[in-house]
Amino acid sequence: MTGIRTDRTAHAHASVVHLSDEALVAQIARGDDAALGALYDRFGRVVYALALRMLRDSQLAEEATQEVFLAVWRAAGEYRASLGSARTWVLTIAHRRAVDRVRHEHRRVSANEPLDEVAEHQLGDPAESAEDEAWVVFERERLTRALGQIPDAEREVIELAYFDGYTQSELADRLGLPLGTVKRRTFTGLRRLRTLLEADR
């Protein structure tokens, strides 16, 4: 019996790494900083990579990443499972933060703009650098395949809106298209992407 009790205690005190994303967010809402660390371990890299892609500056990407996880820390109690998974919630916060910076600091830069030297050293294939990034690589390959299969016109509006932070009306101006067309392309493209991603699971 003693052995079992010891096991149970160990189980109850086990680290939070085995928790679902949603359970981690619930723990964070209770002020558990170990849960925040575990959430960072799952999403820190993708949040940082997204910020670096959008801001093209390692310093700004670091600040944006820190803001995202502090926003998660403060707002965890407001997370509602009815509005999507915890992963989607974190990645939505990450995207909005980076978009805000792009729009308010007029840092809309092309993906071809050179990175600063620090960022150059941070870029690399996570599959090659860390075993725990297996999921990131898995997700990335699946996404790249799916993006390659949607019509160019749809991919273009999605990428410009998502990675470069253009609003739908800015896109209409830039592409010389009616606003309704831009919105429809974005919606249809995202639908198509979703179907492809689900089929590829």
- Beta-carbon neighbour count of residue 87 at 10 Å? 16
| Residue 152 interacting with other proteins (CB under 8 A) | no
Among 9, 77, 84, 105, binds other proteins (CB under 8 A): 84
Q: Which of residues 167-186 bind other proteins (CB under 8 A)?
A: 167-168, 180, 183-184, 186
| Residue 23 interacting with other proteins (CB under 8 A) | yes
Report in angstroms how near the CB of residue 24 gets to other proteins at its nearest. Answer: 10
Greatest Cα pair distance, the chain, in angstroms, is: 74
Q: Is 167 left (phi over 0), alpha (psi -120 to 50) or beta?
A: beta
**CA–CA dist 195, 200 (Å, integer):** 9
Among 9, 70, 105, 178, binds other proteins (CB under 8 A): 70
**CA–CA dist 93, 47 (Å, integer):** 9
| Residue 48 interacting with other proteins (CB under 8 A) | yes
* Whether 29 contacts 76, CB under 8 Å: yes
Among 1, 2, 4, 112, binds other proteins (CB under 8 A): 4
Residue 91 phi, psi dihedral angles, 5° rounding: -70, -30
| Residue 65 interacting with other proteins (CB under 8 A) | yes
Q: Considering only CA atoms, give the Rg of the chain.
A: 20
Report in angstroms how near the CB of residue 182 gets to other proteins at its nearest. Answer: 9
| Residue 187 interacting with other proteins (CB under 8 A) | yes
**CA–CA dist 68, 91 (Å, integer):** 9
Q: Which of residues 93-122 bind other proteins (CB under 8 A)?
A: 94-96, 99, 117-122
Of the pair 49, 106, the CB lying nearest other proteins is at 49
Query: How many binding residues for other proteins (CB under 8 A)?
Result: 95
